[in-house]
Amino acid sequence: MKLANRLFLIFAILMSAMQMQAQEKAEAPDFAAMKQQFKADKIAFLTCKMNFTVEEAQVFWPIYNKYDAIFDQISDERRHNYDPKRCQPICQISDDVSRKMMENSFALDKRELDARKSLYEELSAHFKPNTVLRYYHYEYEFRRHVMADNRPKGGSFGKSYKND
């Protein structure tokens, strides 16, 4: 009888562990869908705020899409630079790897700044300075709005600080 109880207990533990794992997978966020929704919301926001004429929109959106793809690529590379799959707390990363990660980060920052300057120059070739300024302002406003919507209820992101 004791063997049957032990087997039942082991079986119950395994089943509950499998159920928890299935729930975690089911609740895991779909980052691709979230990214698509973010992009759709941003386009809707900019469309509303910029209030382009049809002619202006035909010039603006291809330029925007070109640079949006560049920024996406840089963002993906940045995510891979700080790969969470390392399974190693950041304080345990070797000096050589840390140095390489920082150099990669600076290179990505430079590429992003260069792309932002190119975007500015290309937009400035087609639009008045105030229109370009409004675009940058509304893009910043959108990011701020998204951050505020995703802030944990009751405070800031950094309520408790812990070492890795």
- Model confidence over 18-67: pLDDT tens digits? 666 655 555 667 878 888 888 999 999 999 999 999 999 999 999 999 99
Q: Which residue has the tokens 């890795």?
A: 164
Q: Which residue has the tokens 């590379």?
A: 77
Exposed / middle / buried, residue 99 (Cβ in 10 Å: 0-12, 13-18, 19+): exposed
The confidence score (pLDDT) of residue 161 equals 46
> What single DSSP character describes residue 31?
H
What pLDDT digit, counting tens, does each position of 2-18 carry? 655 565 556 556 666 66
Of the listed ranges 53-57, 96-100, 140-144, 159-163, the one predicted with least confidence: 159-163
Task: Name the average pLDDT for the chain.
Answer: 81
What's the predicted TM-score (pTM) here?
Answer: 0.69
Using an 8 Å Cβ cutoff, are 74 and 115 in contact?
yes
Start-to-end Cα distance in the chain = 47
* Dihedrals phi, psi of 157, to nearest 5 degrees: -70, -30
Q: Is residue 73 pLDDT above 90, yes or no?
A: yes
25 vs 164, which has greater pLDDT? 25
Q: Kind and range of the H or E element at 144? A: helix 129-150
164 band by pLDDT with thresholds 50, 70 and 90 = very low
Rounded CA separation 116/129 (Å): 15
81 band by pLDDT with thresholds 50, 70 and 90 = confident
The confidence score (pLDDT) of residue 25 equals 57
What pLDDT digit, counting tens, does each position of 102-132 carry? 999 999 999 999 999 999 999 999 999 999 9
